[in-house]
């Protein structure tokens, strides 16, 4: 079952401070577990930001363990995985950083560079204290006192977060002071090594690994980076335990996650849903030709296949897709999937940091070839060129930008193959070509936008 | 310890020297950037590998523990 929480970020949110609607019973108090019911992270009908007083009355203060390391087995038992896209087991990252010989740095990653994703912004806006609780608990677990929250450039959001941090400092809720750090408005700004570079005072560009960020990250210190949603889940698992967390989701992929849903009618919502929810319960698939899962590094899935799948990597991987950071887009019938993918591929090519030869050379060529395939009676060599270039860029970047881009493009060539045949005959399902997939309004960024 | 050849693609500027010194393991793509054979470096090539690594003008060629 899903509970839609429409989040009209960043418009002003009128209404009382406590958004709890009548009929839901009293607000939760103390450490009484709220049960497996959703939503866990965003209050019901909750476009109203939760202030510290409301947060503390609902959840009480973060349950510090009094010693590093103690949270780690709890997170392992819960089976929490990273909600930033990679789904890496959370406890393994914590363990690696906790074992380091030098004092680590802990960063909450709220740089939501994916243009189709709103969930981190919404979470930070509505439930900042869950994220900040998680950040403190993570810092305690790895024995760190250097803590920061990395969020994209949005004056209103940053102002609110600074106020939340000050409120907590005044109330003595936090163990370590929290700095708010500005992320540049780039697709790759949240990539871990780009983040570490930016917080160390360099441009937010990915670097070659090894060393991994957990070994040597911000100013050369071991660095724990977790997506802000992951931190919010952590804050609740620390309070209510692994069994509570596992009451939602599937045994293999437990818990809930935030998703940004793009319906075929153009509606865009952030919802919290259990892993394992049928995709047809999240997206209205009638009148939909294909579903994009995993955002612009993800993959297209034909709507007929998506109708049989749940929100899980177990199902999505059979179509070469994955859950990622929870971006799901329903592409309406009557739109050109090739033209849509070509437009986004061009954006992704421009978002290459330009550091790695294969990505710098290959991505613009792939995007241009896809533009050719999107045009009437394209050069028949365009597809074979594209596939050759895709093979040349994969696995050859410092980050996964080339790999994610080719995954997205290759899936389009497969899923929209009938449309490619249409183009060869000089026809297109949608000659008007009004853009559907969201892109930043102004993609003409200059070099200074990396820092 | 088994080691493999890796290119730091952020440092590589496509001089192509590695492909000349070590054609057994390195070829160049159509833009002049090295494609390096994955997997452990054969013992017999040790000397050539070391030479290629130290001679790379961008210091982009690396010998790292196999991943």
ipTM of the complex: 0.95
Long-range Cβ pairs for the range A352-356 (8 Å, 24+): A352/A401, A352/A402, A353/A188, A353/A194, A353/A205, A353/A206, A353/A399, A353/A401, A353/A450, A355/A205, A355/A206, A355/A398, A355/B9, A355/B10, A356/A396, A356/A397, A356/A398, A356/A402, A356/B9, A356/B10, A356/B12
Instruction: Give yes or no for residue A236 having a pLDDT over 50.
Output: yes
Instruction: Give yes or no for residue A18 having a pLDDT over 80.
Output: no
Q: What is the mean pLDDT of residues A55-80?
A: 96
Q: To probe the interface with B, which of A353, A357, A396 has the most B CB atoms within 10 Å?
A: A357
pLDDT tens for residues A273-305?
Answer: 999 999 999 999 999 999 999 999 999 999 999
Q: What's the DSSP call for residue A449?
A: G
Question: Which stretches within chain B are classed as H helix?
Answer: 17-21, 46-55
Q: What is the pLDDT of residue A44?
A: 67
Partners of residue A211 in chain B, C-beta under 8 Å: none
Query: Phi, psi at residue A149, to the nearest 5°?
Result: -115, 125
- Asked if A249 and A276 count as a contact pair (C-beta separation under 8 A), the reply is yes
Cβ–Cβ gap A357/B9 under 8 Å: yes
Partners of residue B32 in chain A, C-beta under 8 Å: 357
Q: What is the pLDDT of residue A448?
A: 57
Instruction: Give yes or no for residue A75 having a pLDDT over 90.
Output: yes
Q: What is the mean pLDDT of residues A136-147?
A: 97
Q: Of residues A319 and A19, which shows the higher confidence score?
A: A319
Q: How confident is the model at residue A447 (pLDDT cuts 50, 70, 90)?
A: low
Q: To probe the interface with A, which of B6, B9, B60 has the most A CB atoms within 10 Å?
A: B9
Cβ–Cβ gap B10/A361 under 8 Å: no
- Asked if A337 and A301 count as a contact pair (C-beta separation under 8 A), the reply is no
Contact residues for A362 (Cβ-Cβ < 8 A; gap 6+): A389, A390, A392, A393, A402, B31
Mark the ranges of chain B whose per-residue pLDDT is less than 70. Answer: none
How close B44 comes to chain A (CA, Å)?
A: 26
Q: What's the DSSP call for residue A219?
A: G
Q: What is the pLDDT of residue A49?
A: 86
Q: What is the pLDDT of residue A35?
A: 55
Q: How confident is the model at residue A446 (pLDDT cuts 50, 70, 90)?
A: low
Q: What is the pLDDT of residue A32?
A: 53
List Cα–Cα distances, A387 to A144, A203, A394, A414, A418, in angstroms: 46, 32, 11, 12, 17
- Measured from the Cβ of residue A158, the count of other Cβ atoms closer than 10 Å reads 18
Instruction: Give yes or no for residue A46 having a pLDDT over 70.
Output: no
- Can you name the residues that pair with B14 across neighbouring β-strands? none
Instruction: Give yes or no for residue A241 having a pLDDT over 60.
Output: yes
Give the pair of three-digit tokens for residue A46. 């909750």
**CATH 3.30.70.20 at B3-65, yes or no:** yes
- Smallest CA-to-CA distance from A230 within A36, A117, A89 is with A89
CB pairs under 8 A between A and B: 39
Cβ–Cβ gap A358/B31 under 8 Å: yes
Instruction: Give yes or no for residue A351 having a pLDDT over 90.
Output: yes
User: Domain-by-domain residue ranges, chain B?
Assistant: 3-65
State the virtual CA torsion across B14, B15, B21, B25 in degrees, nearest 10: 0
List Cα–Cα distances, A276 to A15, A308, A329, in angstroms: 34, 12, 17
Q: How confident is the model at residue A165 (pLDDT cuts 50, 70, 90)?
A: very high
How far apart are the C-alpha atoms of A51 and A72, rounded to whole Å? Answer: 28
Contact residues for A301 (Cβ-Cβ < 8 A; gap 6+): A290, A291, A292, A293, A309, A316, A319, A321, A411, A415
What b/e readout covers A18-35, taking b as 16+ CB neighbours within 10 angstroms?
bbbeeeeeeeeeeeeeee
- Asked if A310 and A276 count as a contact pair (C-beta separation under 8 A), the reply is yes
Cβ–Cβ gap B9/A356 under 8 Å: yes
pLDDT tens for residues A166-180?
Answer: 999 999 999 999 999
Q: How confident is the model at residue A8 (pLDDT cuts 50, 70, 90)?
A: very low
Instruction: Give yes or no for residue A110 having a pLDDT over 70.
Output: yes
pLDDT tens for residues A417-428?
Answer: 999 999 999 999
Partners of residue A399 in chain B, C-beta under 8 Å: none
- Smallest CA-to-CA distance from A392 within A369, A361, A371, A370 is with A361
Instruction: Give yes or no for residue A405 having a pLDDT over 90.
Output: yes
pLDDT tens for residues A360-397?
Answer: 999 999 999 999 999 999 999 999 999 999 999 999 99
**Vertex A326: Cα angle to A165 and A386 (nearest 5):** 125
Q: To probe the interface with A, which of B5, B6, B13, B29 has the most A CB atoms within 10 Å?
A: B29
- Asked if A441 and A344 count as a contact pair (C-beta separation under 8 A), the reply is no
Cβ–Cβ gap B33/A396 under 8 Å: yes
Please enumerate residues of A whose Cβ is less than 8 A from a Cβ of B.
Answer: 205-208, 210, 355-359, 361-362, 392, 396-398
Q: What is the pLDDT of residue B67?
A: 73
Q: What is the pLDDT of residue A376?
A: 95
Q: What's the DSSP call for residue A447?
A: G
Cβ–Cβ gap A208/B10 under 8 Å: yes
- Asked if A59 and A134 count as a contact pair (C-beta separation under 8 A), the reply is no
Q: Of residues A80 and A32, which shows the higher confidence score?
A: A80
Instruction: Give yes or no for residue A26 having a pLDDT over 50.
Output: no
Q: What is the pLDDT of residue A11?
A: 31
Cβ–Cβ gap A357/B31 under 8 Å: yes
Give the pair of three-digit tokens for residue A397. 């970047």
Partners of residue A206 in chain B, C-beta under 8 Å: 10
Q: Of residues B58 and A2, which shows the higher confidence score?
A: B58
Q: How confident is the model at residue A132 (pLDDT cuts 50, 70, 90)?
A: very high
SS3 for A422?
A: helix
Cβ–Cβ gap A361/B33 under 8 Å: yes
pLDDT tens for residues A175-206?
Answer: 999 999 999 999 999 999 999 999 999 999 99
Q: What is the pLDDT of residue A441?
A: 76
How close B8 comes to chain A (CA, Å)?
A: 6
How far apart are the C-alpha atoms of B67 and B46, rounded to whole Å? Answer: 18
How far apart are the C-alpha atoms of B30 and A190, rounded to whole Å? Answer: 31
How far apart are the C-alpha atoms of A288 and A267, rounded to whole Å? Answer: 13
State the virtual CA torsion across A16, A21, A23, A25 in degrees, nearest 10: -80
Within chain B, how many helices (H) and strands (E) appear?
A: 2, 4
State the virtual CA torsion across A50, A53, A58, A59 in degrees, nearest 10: 100
Q: What is the pLDDT of residue B2?
A: 87
Q: What is the pLDDT of residue A38?
A: 87
Q: What is the mean pLDDT of residues A224-228?
A: 98
Q: Which helix (H) or strand (E) holds A387?
A: helix A381-393
- Smallest CA-to-CA distance from A65 within A169, A175, A168 is with A175
Cβ–Cβ gap A392/B29 under 8 Å: yes
How far apart are the C-alpha atoms of A117 and A109, rounded to whole Å? Answer: 14
Give the pair of three-digit tokens for residue A86. 């990679």
Q: What is the pLDDT of residue A417?
A: 98
Q: What percent of chain A has pLDDT over 70?
A: 89
Q: What percent of chain A has pLDDT over 90?
A: 86
Instruction: Give yes or no for residue A268 having a pLDDT over 70.
Output: yes
Q: How confident is the model at residue A12 (pLDDT cuts 50, 70, 90)?
A: very low
Q: Of residues A1 and A335, which shows the higher confidence score?
A: A335
């Amino acid at each position: 079952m899903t509970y839609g929480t429409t989040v009209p970020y960043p418009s002003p949110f009128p209404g009382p401070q406590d958004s709890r609607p009548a009929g839901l019973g009293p607000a939760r108090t103390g450490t009484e577990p709220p049960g497996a019911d959703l939503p866990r992270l965003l209050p019901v009908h909750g476009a109203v930001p939760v202030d510290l007083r409301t947060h503390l009355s609902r959840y009480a203060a973060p349950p510090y363990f009094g010693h590093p390391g103690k949270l780690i087995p709890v997170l392992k038992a819960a089976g929490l995985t990273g909600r930033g896209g990679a789904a890496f087991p959370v406890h393994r990252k914590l363990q690696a950083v906790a074992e380091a010989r030098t004092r680590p740095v802990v960063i909450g990653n709220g740089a939501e560079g994916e243009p189709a994703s709103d969930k981190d912004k919404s979470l930070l806006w509505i439930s900042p204290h869950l994220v900040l609780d998680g950040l403190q608990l993570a810092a305690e677990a790895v024995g760190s006192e250097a803590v920061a929250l990395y969020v994209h450039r949005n004056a209103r959001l940053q102002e609110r977060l600074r106020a939340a941090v000050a409120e907590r400092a005044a109330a003595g809720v936090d163990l370590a002071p929290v700095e708010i750090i500005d992320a540049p408005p780039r697709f790759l700004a949240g990539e871990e090594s780009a983040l570490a570079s930016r917080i160390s005072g360099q441009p937010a560009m990915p670097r070659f690994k090894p060393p991994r960020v957990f070994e040597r990250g911000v100013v050369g210190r071991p660095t724990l980076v977790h997506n802000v949603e992951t931190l919010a889940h952590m804050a609740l698992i620390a309070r209510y335990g692994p069994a509570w967390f596992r009451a939602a989701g599937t045994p293999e992929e437990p818990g809930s996650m935030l998703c940004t849903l793009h319906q075929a009618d153009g509606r865009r919502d952030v919802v919290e849903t259990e892993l394992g929810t049928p995709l047809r319960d999240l997206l209205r698939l009638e009148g939909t030709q294909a579903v994009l899962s995993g955002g612009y590094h993800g993959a297209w899935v034909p709507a007929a296949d998506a109708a049989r799948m749940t929100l899980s990597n177990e199902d999505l991987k059979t179509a070469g897709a994955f859950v990622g950071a929870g971006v799901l887009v329903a592409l309406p019938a009557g739109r050109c999937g090739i033209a849509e993918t070509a437009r986004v591929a061009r954006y992704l090519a421009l978002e290459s940091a330009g550091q790695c030869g294969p990505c710098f050379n290959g991505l613009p060529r792939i995007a241009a070839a896809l533009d050719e395939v999107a045009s009437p009676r394209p050069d028949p060599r365009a597809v074979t060129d594209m596939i050759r270039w895709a093979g040349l860029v994969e696995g050859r970047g410092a980050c996964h930008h080339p790999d994610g881009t080719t995954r997205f493009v290759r899936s389009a060539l497969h899923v929209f193959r009938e449309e490619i045949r249409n183009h060869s005959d000089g026809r297109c399902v949608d000659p008007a070509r009004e853009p559907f997939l969201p892109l930043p309004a102004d993609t003409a960024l200059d070099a200074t936008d990396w820092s | 310890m088994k080691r493999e050849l890796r290119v730091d693609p952020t440092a590589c500027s496509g001089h192509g020297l590695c492909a000349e010194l070590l054609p057994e393991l390195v070829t160049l793509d159509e833009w002049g950037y090295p494609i390096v054979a994955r997997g452990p470096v054969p013992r017999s090539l040790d000397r050539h590998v070391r030479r290629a690594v130290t001679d790379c003008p961008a210091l982009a060629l690396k010998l790292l523990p196999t991943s």
